[in-house]
Amino acid sequence: MLLLAALVALHLPPVSPTAPNLQPQLAAEGGTVALVFGSGEAIYLARSLDNGRSFAAPSKVADLPKLLLGRHRGPRVAISGNAIVVSAIASDPGDLLVWRSTDGGLSWSPPLEVNDTPKAAREGLHALVADAGGHMAAAWLDDRGGTGKRLYGAFSNDAGISWSRNVLLYQSPDGTICQCCDPSLAAMGHGEFVVMWRNVLAGSRDLYTLRLRDGQPAGPAVKQGKGTWKLDACPMDGGGVAVRNGQISSAWRRDHDVYLAAPGKPEVKIGSGQDVAFGAGSRGFYAAWRTPSGIELHAPGANRPSQLSSAGAFPAIVALSDGGMLVAWEENGAIATARQ
């Protein structure tokens, strides 16, 4: 029997009696942690000033009619300096919007549209990340062109005040990338990022990474792992990418199993399940995922995963300034968190 890896530090109860808290996402800088989630057609943010040990009551960022929520769709959050930026997409009109706060979430700017072709982000699957220097990146599954999904991005050098023209990051020679798997981003510092997405090539749906520098792709797309997943369907599961000591690693699902891929090495199976979240801490790489028996966690040096909760779904994970890690997930209409 698996042992609990950490006590649940907090439950954020449902903010609405008619809609559960869904799809948590995390960002951290200094001792501040921002936790964003959706409830019905509203976006909420809870802030911690003690590395996730406690959170203030959630406050509303915005109402967004037809907010896309569920299966890795939902709001995202990034922190750079005193700026917190939240992003989300509604099914109609299908645009990627960002809101910005510089007073800890007490007030928010009007929404700014990031995609420069209307309705291009209507799939609702996107990623957002920032570094400490005010650089931010967004990436999303894009529908412009009308045939297949492409990976597009946009960049900010002023902590989300303004955004670049959209950039085509990757287009599959087979006509589409995976149509329903969310991309992920990690910051490498000094305005450099890495993006990961699930591709469609020769009938396989494997994960690829691409380095981004100066708002443009830098180098070739790199397949993650040595094996492949032949699949004529979308698993709706994008995995996660992280950077530690300048090295890019990733964790993701293939079939029913979860793998960790480090640079230049074959992938290693670390468990079974789906909906993988991945992060790099001071001790190494952490991965959390959902199984039929709850949320499990792979920690550096562990021989097998440990159980965070006997229930729950859709974990998110972030590294903390004190060397710890924070995991958040959906559980019975609430958001649960645990520090590692």
Q: What are the chain's domains?
A: 13-274 (2.120.10.10)
Kindly report, residue by residue over 147-176, the tens digit of the pLDDT.
899 999 999 999 999 999 999 999 999 999
Q: For residue 188, what pLDDT band results from cuts at 50, 70 and 90?
A: very high
Q: What are phi and psi of 210, to 5 degrees?
A: -150, 130
Q: Given this model, what pLDDT does residue 146 score?
A: 78
Q: What percent of the chain has pLDDT over 90?
A: 94
pLDDT exceeds cutoff 70 at 6: no
Q: What percent of the chain has pLDDT over 70?
A: 97
Kindly report, residue by residue over 81-120, the tens digit of the pLDDT.
999 999 999 999 999 999 999 999 999 999 999 999 999 9
Q: How many CA atoms lie within 13 A of 224 on its CB side?
A: 30
Q: What are phi and psi of 23, to 5 degrees?
A: 55, 60
- Average pLDDT for residues 222-246, to the nearest whole number? 96
CB contact at 8 A, 257 and 237: no
Kindly report, residue by residue over 64-86, the tens digit of the pLDDT.
999 999 999 999 999 999 999 99
Q: Which of 254, 256, 203 is nearest to 233 (CA)?
A: 203
pLDDT exceeds cutoff 50 at 267: yes
- Average pLDDT for residues 239-265, to the nearest whole number? 95
Name the burial class of residue 188, with classes exposed (0-12), middle (13-18) and buried (19+) by CB atoms within 10 angstroms of its CB: middle
CB contact at 8 A, 308 and 326: no
